[in-house]
Amino acid sequence: MKLSVIDQSPVPAGFTPADALRNTLELARLADRLGYTRYWIAEHHAIPALASPAPEVLIARVAAETRGIRVGSGGVMLPHYSPYKVAECFRVLHALYPDRIDLGIGRAPGGTPLDSFALWRDRDHYPPPDDFGRQLPELLAFLNHGFPANHPFSQITVTPDMPGTPEVWLLGSSMWSASAAAQLGLPYAFAHFIEPGPTRAAIAHYQANFQASRSTMRVPRTILALGAVCAETDAEAERLLASVRLFRRRIRQNDVRPIPTVEEALRELGETSPLPSEQVEREDGIPRYVVGSPERVRDQLSLIAEELRVQEVMVVTIVHDHRARLRSYELMAAACGLEPRA
């Protein structure tokens, strides 16, 4: 089982977004040394609790400060952008860091309807047509010189025109994304920590209906993205989890304040002790967050990966204490037997 990182650049209460971005760079350097496979950066708009609206900018800095880990977007929300421009951005990144760049593509807005409206170039049509089904093949054609000879865009060379291409992943949390990834022959990353309901059905559908593509790959590849908090003891991990539990509850109430401290979380949640992780939200037997000691987290991740037949697990960890966040990834890497990079 491969382990990777998805980073939303969380802003802890009492700190600044600049602190959160520095935390991202420190965590990326650590993940690289520890032997994690990928480091993906999310895209969220107008959320003070999350400091990463432009993953393509952070990818350049993270890749510059790491050596072996793959770096990418988790993801670029394609409906907001021109496929041609996204192809140009990621071809630049690929030229700077060959064979290390992942282009994770998402369909979700990454913010509120107002944020999306502000991102649209054409505001005369509301809502805009859902043309993701056209955008994605167009993006792939730009990256892979894939337009037919009679298509006007076949005359365009996306520069810098380097050998190879960024690795494109389709991100999703629905049956639609599973079907699209299978039809296009793309690797697929399922965001279980965002929407756990369709997880089993979507992954099974993708694996059963995958169509090999000459320009991408021959066999299906799947990443499951979920949350995890790991600490030296189960009790300490449960305690740290309180911050993300309150953060998630606030988000559902459109309260986007920074990540609360454990003490604030326990007070607002009305509890004097952490809630056992067995009672934390789960769907169809798979928790959104795997929580506990290194051995417990390792065993749960391994069981989930085996059960869903996924080759890679991508972990998001949101806690208030950045040192505890770093330590969580350290403990998971050691427990799962990752081989450190020199």
Strands 312-316 and 222-230 turn out to be parallel
Mean pLDDT of 57-84: 96
Q: What is the DSSP string of 162-204?
A: -SS-PEEEEEESSHHHHHHHHHHT--EEEETTT--TTHHHHHH
34: exposed, middle or buried (Cβ count in 10 Å: 0-12, 13-18, 19+) = buried
- Beta bridge partner(s), residue 223: 189, 312
Rounded (10°) CA dihedral 178, 184, 188, 190? -30
Query: What is the structure's pLDDT at 283?
Result: 55
Beta-carbon count within 10 A of 155 CB:
8
Residues in contact with 74: Cβ distance below 8 Å, sequence separation at least 6, in sequence order: 6, 7, 40, 41, 42, 43, 55, 104, 106, 171, 189, 225, 314
Tally the domains of the chain.
1
**Is 341 domain-assigned?**
no
Residue 215 CB-half CA count within 13 A:
16
4-29: pLDDT as tens digits: 999 999 999 999 999 999 999 999 99
**Is 342 domain-assigned?**
no
Mean pLDDT of 161-179: 95
Q: How far apart are CA 8 and CA 232, in angstroms?
A: 24
Query: What is the structure's pLDDT at 278?
Result: 43
**Is 296 domain-assigned?**
yes
Residues in contact with 65: Cβ distance below 8 Å, sequence separation at least 6, in sequence order: 25, 28, 29
Least Cα distance to 103 among 75, 136, 61, 140 occurs for: 75
User: 203 pLDDT exceeds 90?
Assistant: yes
Q: How far apart are CA 264 and CA 270, in angstroms?
A: 10
209-251: pLDDT as tens digits: 999 876 556 899 999 999 999 999 999 999 999 999 999 999 9
What is the CATH number for 309? 3.20.20.30
Length of the chain: 342
**Is 340 domain-assigned?**
no
108-125: pLDDT as tens digits: 888 888 888 888 877 777
User: 39 pLDDT exceeds 90?
Assistant: yes
pTM of the shown model: 0.94
The answer to whether 162 and 91 have CB atoms below 8 angstroms apart is yes
Q: How far apart are CA 183 and CA 290, in angstroms?
A: 31
282-296: pLDDT as tens digits: 556 899 999 999 999
User: 281 pLDDT exceeds 60?
Assistant: no
**Is 197 domain-assigned?**
yes
310: exposed, middle or buried (Cβ count in 10 Å: 0-12, 13-18, 19+) = buried
160: exposed, middle or buried (Cβ count in 10 Å: 0-12, 13-18, 19+) = exposed
User: 314 pLDDT exceeds 50?
Assistant: yes
**Is 55 domain-assigned?**
yes
* Summary mean pLDDT of the chain: 93
**Is 270 domain-assigned?**
yes
Report residue 240: phi and psi, to 5°.
Answer: -65, -30
Strands 282-283 and 286-287 turn out to be antiparallel
Q: How far apart are CA 143 and CA 46, in angstroms?
A: 30
Q: How far apart are CA 262 and CA 204, in angstroms?
A: 37
41-56: pLDDT as tens digits: 999 999 999 999 999 9
Q: How far apart are CA 187 and CA 171, in angstroms?
A: 9
The residue among 179 and 110 whose pLDDT is bigger is 179
Percent of all residues in the chain with a pLDDT value above 90, rounded to a whole number: 85
What is the H or E stretch that residue 97 is in? none
Enclosing domain of residue 283: 2-335
Helix, coil or strand: residue 6: strand
**Is 7 domain-assigned?**
yes
Cis amide leading into 337 (omega within 30): no
